[in-house]
Structure 1
Amino acid sequence: MVNFRKYISGITVLASGFFFAQSTATTVLYSQNFDSQKTSLNLPSPVAAIEKAILSPKELVDISVNTMMTDPVLKNANWGFVVYDPKTKKIISSYNENTPLVPASTTKLLTTETALNLLGENYRWMTQLEYSGSIDENGVLNGNLYIIGSGDPSLGTNKAGAWSYKDIVSDFVSGMSREGIKKVNGDIIIQTALFKGNISRLPENVVWLENNNYYLPVGTTREINPANEKLIVKKGSNSISDKKYFYVSPYANQMVFAEKYEGDGILTTKLPDAPAFLANSFKANLVKNGIAVTGKVTPRITDGAPENRKMISAYKSPTLADIVFYTNQHSDNGLAEALLKTVGFQKMGDQTSESGRIVVNNHLKEVSFDTEGLNYMDGSGLSRNNHVTPISQVKFLTSLMNEKYYKTYLASLPVGGQSGTLKRMFIGQGNGQIFAKTGTLNKVKALAGYIKTNSGKTLVFSLLVNNYSGSVDQVKSKMEKILQPALDL
């Protein structure tokens, strides 16, 4: 940490001379247009200009960190910071870089990278429509229809370019027409081994009452219209804008966050069991189009004696690269938790969150992640029991720069002043130069990623702030001030 007191007297003297010179120049060069023009000028302060002229960029970063240590917003906070040069493998500036801190949604950096590493960026989830039995000369199918799911987290959501339920159903109905099926003497069977454990307990210490609208999947929508799920409003809220919305699946007895509340008892959210809702929508659409189905929609998790089946239609999800992009840009908790379960299933044959955590932790060890201080509890960062050190984050992000999927991973991160959750930060300095994942919980603000400096370097940084005072906007402003001098490194 630089001792900046020795610079103060020199800066003061220079600043005094600068102010005097400015005053004299103004007297000589004054015009009537100046008063109307000066409000539109965006000039740096004289002291800031002098500091920049006589101090190195590293010294300015150190001074910025020292200043923040006494700032009222961060004075009593527990926070850590590090900016790191991936070429020299050296720390440029740091504060509490080895302290385990709550990372909030920067946890998604670990989840999404694990998925890319283990599954590949072109991985897709398949949802297939098949039939058993035979079709007679009258177009009657004497057999069953099968919807084969694979745990597609984007199914029916329109996220990342995914199709809506309506589009998928329409494609399935078109497939039925191509096969000449006019009636079904049988059931519509949902067969998917993935995510059948969605009624399991949520990660420890998940933040329920945050102001943000988080979502975690639970339950099943079999034979239940999600629009009728019970709406719960936090008691004690006077203003409609202060209310926080949740819903309880009537068959799971667990409360989860809704993504949006539109009033009139309509609750819009990603569905807990997408294949079941798709199957019921499909059946209703078939009947509407004059294709009778004599049986019912029923799940079949395991099948000891599988029937011979023929494929009618297959829907492919967006690529994993697309899903990771959407997840990181929008900090989508539902997709992140689904990715966690997907890697668990692919590696351990078990779709639970616990298996996913084991797989992610094992992967991090394999890539030499510094696990000192690491506690990875969920895929999204909702749990306050998640902990990570700033130095482990930057070394992890540095190691990814040699991976074949690095460009895809980097492109998934929000860009300062331009996209995703960073669109309203770094609107001035740093615009288009900060590529980072944000994280926000009550009294937790986090930012970790890459800096493209003015000289063309790529640096890696982590800034985790816990238990701060003041507002979120105040902390975001402090974070910008800490990082802006690093742009000149």
Structure 2
Amino acid sequence: MVNFRKYISSAAVLASGLFLAQSTVSTVLYSQNYDSQKSSLNLPSPVSTMVEKTVLSAKELVDINVNTMMADPVLKNASWGFVVYDPKTKKVISSYNENTPLVPASTTKLLTTETALNLLGENYRWMTQLEYSGTIDENGVLNGNLYVIGSGDPSLGTNKAGASSYRDIISDFIGGVSREGIKKVNGDIIIQTALFKGNISVLPENVVWLENNNYYLPAGSTRDINPANEKLIVKKGSFSTDKKFFYVSPYNHQMVYADKYEGNGILTTKLPDAPAYLANSFRTTLVKSGIPVTGKVSPKMTDAAPEGRKMLSAYKSPTLGDIIYYTNQHSDNSLAEALLRTVGYQKMGDQTSESGRIVVTGHLKDTGFDMIGLNYMDGSGLSRSNNVTPISQVKFLTSLMDQKYYRSYLTSLPIGGQSGTLKRMFIGEGNGQVFAKTGTLNKVKTLAGYLKTNSGKTLVFSLMVNNYSGSVDMVKKRMEKILEPALDL
């Protein structure tokens, strides 16, 4: 707790603390109507009077705001922590509970996206290729198979980050088939998703599948090729007093919870198995275009004796830099989880969440991250078992300012009052000056990133609130209030 007496010498100033917390750095402590009253005072002439005026610094106002929030009805029973840090002096300017591990929600994506940038580079791309085996006879009949070769592209067919739609990709594939003179396929369309190959991983502990009215299913392969089978079975919880609904994944065979559910008993996810959907749609389009396919769509995860193949078409994803920009601006959970799996595959040859966690935590340790209090459970921040301290977040963000990809990383963060998930915060004070990742779960609200002060300095901050009272909008207002005086630092 901050000591008021360190900054304020008189009892009168201390009693005015709540008022001062709402003031700017130029606030002066004296009666506002004194100037209008002094002319009517019956004082002997030419006696002059000196009025002592005490001006508080921006740091003192930040500290007062923090102290005021300790008694605020929304935060007084919450677990919360705050740090504002000067990266040049390497000193904490103001803090509260900075060493307390707290649930970071989607500010977890700060660690995931930075690891991907560091290990893969911002120009990294995923490739999805169309190839064929066998021979093409004089009538244009392919006596062989078509292969859709995936690489785990998390944006495939989504239009996210500038990615092409399924329709556009299929159009390119049809063009490749036509250029090769293929008029009939006497074989199958085989999907080889070497990265996602049946890695039905264990879900992160305590994961939330229902977030902000969106439903989330971890990326991966289905056991059946039909994307319509990507659905969750919803059951009312009959064995818990804390949670109302449970989701049973038909692929993970695990139950996870949600605090509320508005829908029927079966929920179809927004995330179909992308390679399966692409291949099935491709086959349908081929047939409609007058190119018959005698075989079916089937997965082939491993191939001990691969056929000789020739490429027909190749689709490149947006760059990793573009993907990360979209991920952080929109707080996209599926992209973040795919990034986690991708770094796991690139370093360990195994695209599972567990491998991804090992790679991310290993990277953080190698780069000097303060591991005390860290529990990194997933790439997106959906798990309530994630923990991190405010001080470790700000030191991590400070260390990135010397990296060659810092500009891309900074640009990916939402801007207060202007873009992404911060568009409706800092509309007045701080507009265009706060660059930060937000995080939201039920009774969890977090914010961490960079702050450009009115004097042009860049400061780093972390503000995490767990188990607050009231609405999330109430917490947002208090977060803005704590940070506003820091703009004058």
Coarse TM-score class (shorter-chain normalised): 0.7 to 0.9
1:432 maps to 2:409: no
Q: Report the Cα distance in structure 2 between the residues aligned to 1:230 and 1:106, rounded to whole angstroms.
A: 27
1:140 — aligned with what? 141
Q: Report the Cα distance in structure 2 between the residues aligned to 1:105 and 1:76, rounded to whole angstroms.
A: 22
1:412 — aligned with what? 412
Contact 1:221-1:277 within 8 A present in 2 as well: no
Structure 1 length-normalised TM: 0.86
Q: How does 1:182-197 map to 2 (within 5 A)?
A: 182-197=183-198
1:476 — aligned with what? 476
Contact 1:189-1:300 within 8 A present in 2 as well: yes
Structure 2 gap ranges (5+): 17-27, 40-51, 239-243
Residue 292 of structure 1 aligns to a residue in which SS? coil
Once the two structures are TM-superposed, the CA of residue 467 in structure 1 deviates from its matched residue by 1.2
1:67 — aligned with what? 68
Q: 1:9 aligns with which of 2, 7, 12?
A: 12
Q: 1:23 to 1:468 in 2, by over 3 A?
A: farther
* Aligned residue type for 2:481: K
Contact 1:227-1:266 within 8 A present in 2 as well: no
Q: 1:18 aligns with which of 13, 17, 32?
A: 32
Once the two structures are TM-superposed, the CA of residue 267 in structure 1 deviates from its matched residue by 4.9
Contact 2:232-2:269 within 8 A present in 1 as well: no
* Aligned residue type for 2:303: D
1:94 maps to 2:98: no
Residue 322 of structure 2 aligns to a residue in which SS? helix
CA RMSD of aligned residues (A): 2.9
* Aligned residue type for 1:97: E
Contact 1:375-1:388 within 8 A present in 2 as well: yes
1:394 — aligned with what? 394
Contact 2:237-2:246 within 8 A present in 1 as well: no
Q: Report the Cα distance in structure 1 between the residues aligned to 2:249 and 2:115, rounded to whole angstroms.
A: 31
The one-character-per-residue Cα deviations of 1:199-256 (angstroms, maximum 9, x if unpaired) are: 22210111245544142235427442438846748689xxxxxxx9998665665678
Q: Report the Cα distance in structure 2 between the residues aligned to 1:246 and 1:5, rounded to whole angstroms.
A: 53
Q: Report the Cα distance in structure 1 between the residues aligned to 2:256 and 2:180, rounded to whole angstroms.
A: 41
* Aligned residue type for 1:105: S
Residue 222 of structure 2 aligns to a residue in which SS? coil
1:362 maps to 2:362: yes
Residue 92 of structure 2 aligns to a residue in which SS? strand
Residue 17 of structure 1 aligns to a residue in which SS? coil
Residue 191 of structure 1 aligns to a residue in which SS? strand
Q: Report the Cα distance in structure 1 between the residues aligned to 2:487 and 2:460, rounded to whole angstroms.
A: 11
* Aligned residue type for 1:19: N
Q: Report the Cα distance in structure 2 between the residues aligned to 1:24 and 1:166, rounded to whole angstroms.
A: 78
Once the two structures are TM-superposed, the CA of residue 480 in structure 1 deviates from its matched residue by 0.4
1:378 — aligned with what? 378
Residue 127 of structure 1 aligns to a residue in which SS? strand
The one-character-per-residue Cα deviations of 1:443-487 (angstroms, maximum 9, x if unpaired) are: 111100000000000000001111111110111111001101000
* Aligned residue type for 2:128: T
* Aligned residue type for 1:138: N
Once the two structures are TM-superposed, the CA of residue 20 in structure 1 deviates from its matched residue by 4.5
Q: 1:261 to 1:229 in 2, by over 3 A?
A: farther
1:155 maps to 2:156: yes
Flag as ranges the 4+ runs of structure 1 deviating above 6 A: 11-14, 22-25, 233-236, 244-249, 255-258, 260-263
Q: 1:354 to 1:133 in 2, by over 3 A?
A: same
Q: How does 1:80-479 map to 2 (within 5 A)?
A: 80-215=81-216, 216-220=218-222, 222-226=224-228, 229=231, 232=234, 267=268, 269-271=270-272, 273-479=273-479
* Aligned residue type for 1:103: P
Q: Report the Cα distance in structure 2 between the residues aligned to 1:251 and 1:379, rounded to whole angstroms.
A: 20
2:77 — aligned with what? 76
Contact 1:197-1:352 within 8 A present in 2 as well: no
Once the two structures are TM-superposed, the CA of residue 90 in structure 1 deviates from its matched residue by 0.7
Residue 418 of structure 1 aligns to a residue in which SS? coil
2:44 — aligned with what? none
* Aligned residue type for 1:384: R
Residue 313 of structure 1 aligns to a residue in which SS? strand
Contact 2:436-2:449 within 8 A present in 1 as well: yes
Residue 93 of structure 1 aligns to a residue in which SS? strand
Structure 1 gap ranges (5+): 26-49, 237-243
Contact 1:227-1:268 within 8 A present in 2 as well: no
Contact 2:198-2:223 within 8 A present in 1 as well: no
Once the two structures are TM-superposed, the CA of residue 197 in structure 1 deviates from its matched residue by 3.9
Q: Give the number of aligned pairs.
A: 455
Q: 1:197 to 1:21 in 2, by over 3 A?
A: farther
Q: Report the Cα distance in structure 2 between the residues aligned to 1:473 and 1:179, rounded to whole angstroms.
A: 58
- Greater helix share, structure number: 1
Structure 2 length-normalised TM: 0.86
* Aligned residue type for 2:12: S
Q: 1:56 to 1:19 in 2, by over 3 A?
A: same
* Aligned residue type for 1:300: K
Once the two structures are TM-superposed, the CA of residue 17 in structure 1 deviates from its matched residue by 3.0
Q: 1:160 to 1:234 in 2, by over 3 A?
A: farther
Query: Identity of aligned pairs, percent?
Result: 74
Residue 54 of structure 1 aligns to a residue in which SS? coil
Q: 1:74 to 1:22 in 2, by over 3 A?
A: farther
Q: Report the Cα distance in structure 2 between the residues aligned to 1:10 and 1:399, rounded to whole angstroms.
A: 38
Contact 1:214-1:257 within 8 A present in 2 as well: no
* Aligned residue type for 1:86: P
Q: Which has the higher mean CA deviation after the structures are superposed, 215-224 or 191-200?
A: 215-224
* Aligned residue type for 1:279: A
* Aligned residue type for 2:187: G
Q: 1:10 to 1:72 in 2, by over 3 A?
A: closer
Q: Report the Cα distance in structure 2 between the residues aligned to 1:295 and 1:274, rounded to whole angstroms.
A: 20
Q: Report the Cα distance in structure 2 between the residues aligned to 1:22 and 1:208, rounded to whole angstroms.
A: 61
Q: Report the Cα distance in structure 1 between the residues aligned to 2:357 and 2:431, rounded to whole angstroms.
A: 35
